[in-house]
Amino acid sequence: MEQTYVMIKPDGVQRGLIGEIVSRIEQKGLRIVAMEMRMITDDIARRHYAEHVEKDFFKFLIDFITSSPVVCMVVEGENAVAAMRMMSGATDPKDASVGTIRGDFGLDVGRNLIHTADSLESAEREITIHFTGDEMVEYTRAEETWVYE
């Protein structure tokens, strides 16, 4: 089982899409093992997006992600990292397929609704930034024998 870091961004929260997005994660069969609504601090935002510090959109990214509450999650399952990337869709909603979260609900790269870690290494790094071990729960979902062979 892999764990990945997922965050419903301020636009997703403000547009009333928390339930829709959480519902898609649940319906996929993935297991949410940590979830909390938070304001992201400037310090956490800079650590989270450290790889983009040189980009010209970095300041907009930090201002946006700290502007309004987000929902932080750790999501677990087989191939959870790739599964969540597939469900999120391409970075720019203009390129994201219909059926993905960004493709179905977004129009602008700066308002693309959801963050999902792009690799197992990123997932581990991001989970450590946003959660402590005792904030995550261990359980199985009753339906998992019907999700996995």
Q: Catalytic site residues?
A: 115
Please provide residue 33's backbone torsions phi and psi, each rounded to the nearest 5 degrees. Answer: -110, -5
Nearest residue (CB) to Mg ion, 24 versus 48? 48
Dihedral through CA 108, CA 15, CA 69, CA 76, nearest 10? -80
- Which lies closer to ligand DAT via its Cβ, residue 57 or residue 148? 57
Phi-psi region of 29 (alpha: psi -120 to 50; beta: other; left: phi over 0): left
Binding footprint of ligand DAT on the chain (CB under 6 A): 52, 57, 61, 91, 109-110, 112, 115, 118
The contact set with Mg ion (CB under 5 A) reads 118
Residue 140: CB minimum distance to ligand DAT, A: 29
Question: Which of ligand DAT, Mg ion, none has residue 91 at its interface (CB below 5 to 8 Å by kind)?
Answer: ligand DAT
Exposed, middle or buried, 134 (CB in 10 Å: 0-12/13-18/19+)?
A: exposed
- To the nearest whole angstrom, how small is the minimum distance from the Cβ of residue 38 to ligand DAT? 18
